[in-house]
Amino acid sequence: MRRGIDYQNLSRDDLIYLLGVEDKAEIEEIYAEAYKTKLKYIGNQVFFRGLIEISNICRKNCYYCGIRSGNHNVHRFNLSEAEILKSARWAWEHQYASLAIQSGERDDAEFIDFVEAILLGIREFSGNDLGITLSCGEQTEETYQRWREAGASRYLLRIETSNREFYRRLHPADHDYDKRLECLGRLRRTGYQVGTGVMSGLPGQTNEHLADDIIFFKEHDIDMVGMGPWIPHFETPLGRAHPEIDNTRQLEMGLKMIALVRLYLKDVNIAATTALQALHPAGREMGLMAGANVIMPVITENEHRGDYVLYDGKPVCDENAEGFRLALDKAILKLGEKVAYGNQGNSLHWQKRVGKQHG
Ligand code: 5AD
Ligand code: SF4
């Protein structure tokens, strides 16, 4: 039976109930309420982050991820500094105003220096014009500090699941939930806009887990959220054990999570991620209509793009090709939204937290 829901004041029970809703009209209502909330706080604008995947070398071995260190069938690559700077400049010239720099996790000195050098290189040509989100895994506070000083202002480190026991089931024994939590604390202390997120639709995951994930984001006062549906990758333990998924259900769960995070946290930045697009060609646009306000088009122009494959069916298209860019622009306009070119799109939640008026 349908229950009365106060969408602006959801309880944990409401979240669990809504995650379980299967009636199409009721699901549409959740998306519509979330979209209204997004309009109220953020307006009808979408922020772009030009995504540069700088390396798929990773020391971790997460059971779900295609570039885990245990997968020996991946061609490993590192982009050169020149390649990265070229892409960054392209984004800057095209008014993207923000970049997201992503890689597998490494903590050796060479890598730390390399990331720092890139950040300094970007600052050299762009001044402080480009907002930079880093996503390079767990690091020491000193490393986070160095990267912050070199010009990164946001950091995305997904908690993957906020349930300690479930985290243990998704990762090998030397991957530590508490260390990840500690890293979120370090990021906060070093002054980043802090982003985290989870995967939805994982085997063994419950609606209670997901409701608690949403509550976790709020309790940790998170500024940005990047989430996506889990998609099996054939060369991973989890993907091999569960090779079949129901695309429609996975997409629906991913969209519901976006909607519920928007309704529960209201003023955070939420990305409509590539995993949605892997399940449906218009998955990211659906994400926007369910309350997301950020899209991260891959902007690197190189032969390695097909090697950064975390899950099967990841779309590999030339998003910086003029045709794709214009098509995405047009699709966004058709939704009644527009890309906020030239606007860094800092998290409203963060702006309020630190007392900034504009960003
Ligand atoms: N399906 C969906 N998302 C995945 N990630 C890793 N593997 C998969 C997968 N098989 C996500 C994780 C990680 C981010 C970089 O990609 O959440 O934090
Ligand atoms: Fe490495 Fe991240 Fe993949 Fe884990 S999810 S194996 S840390 S790239």
pLDDT tens digits, 24-60? 999 999 999 999 999 999 999 999 999 999 999 999 9
295 touches 262 (CB < 8 A): no
pLDDT of residue 219: 98
- Give the global pTM: 0.96
Helix (H) or strand (E) holding 200: strand 199-200
- Mean pLDDT on 243-264: 97
- Mean pLDDT on 109-137: 97
Residue nearest to atom 3 of ligand 1 (CA): 230
Percent of the chain residues past pLDDT 90, beyond the cut: 88
pLDDT of residue 304: 74
Residues 93-104 pLDDT 10s: 999 999 999 999
Of 119-123, 312-316, 334-338, 351-355, the poorest mean pLDDT is in 312-316
Name residue 194's beta-bridge partners.
Answer: 155
Residue nearest to atom 3 of ligand 2 (CA): 65
Ligand 2 centre and the CA of 183: distance in Å? 15
pLDDT at residue 359 tops 60: no
Which has more pLDDT, 217 or 324?
A: 217
- Mean pLDDT on 297-308: 79
From 311, 312, 314, the mutation candidate for ligand 1 (largest count of ligand atoms within 8 A of CB) is: 311
Q: Is 118 helix (H, G, I), strand (E, B) or coil?
A: helix
pLDDT of residue 2: 59
From 57, 64, 65, the mutation candidate for ligand 2 (largest count of ligand atoms within 8 A of CB) is: 65
Q: How far apart are CA 243 and CA 294, in angstroms?
A: 30
Which numbered ligand comes closest to the C-alpha of 197?
1
Ligand 1 centre and the CA of 131: distance in Å? 23
**DSSP letter, residue 192:** P
229 touches 200 (CB < 8 A): yes
Q: Is 169 helix (H, G, I), strand (E, B) or coil?
A: helix
pLDDT of residue 319: 65
pLDDT at residue 305 tops 90: no
- Mean pLDDT on 250-254: 98
Ligand 1 centre and the CA of 62: distance in Å? 9
pLDDT at residue 357 tops 60: no
Pocket (CB within 6 angstroms of ligand 1): 64-65, 158, 160, 199, 228, 230-231, 233, 275, 310-311
Which has more pLDDT, 321 or 218?
A: 218
Q: Is 67 helix (H, G, I), strand (E, B) or coil?
A: coil
pLDDT at residue 353 tops 60: yes
Q: Any idea of the CA torsion for 272, 276, 278, 279, to the nearest 10 degrees? A: -160
* Phi, psi (deg, nearest 5) at residue 338: -140, 150
Average pLDDT, the chain: 94
Pocket (CB within 6 angstroms of ligand 2): 58, 60, 62, 65, 67-68, 104-105, 137
Residue nearest to atom 4 of ligand 2 (CA): 62
Q: How far apart are CA 56 and CA 74, in angstroms?
A: 9
Q: Give the length of the chain.
A: 359
Ligand 2 centre and the CA of 24: distance in Å? 34
Read off the pLDDT band of 62 (50, 70, 90). very high
Residue nearest to atom 5 of ligand 2 (CA): 65
31, 77, 249, 254, 284 from 278: Cα distances, Å: 20, 22, 13, 12, 9
pLDDT at residue 345 tops 60: yes
- Mean pLDDT on 323-352: 93
pLDDT of residue 134: 98
Q: How far apart are CA 171 and CA 177, in angstroms?
A: 9
Name residue 101's beta-bridge partners.
Answer: 52, 134
* Atom of ligand 2 at shortest range from CA of 66: 3
Residues 2-27 pLDDT 10s: 568 999 999 999 999 999 999 999 99
pLDDT of residue 124: 97
Rg of the chain on CA atoms, in Å: 19
pLDDT of residue 318: 63
* Atom of ligand 1 at shortest range from CA of 232: 10
Ligand 2 centre and the CA of 61: distance in Å? 7
Ligand 1 centre and the CA of 169: distance in Å? 15
pLDDT of residue 302: 63
Read off the pLDDT band of 314 (50, 70, 90). confident
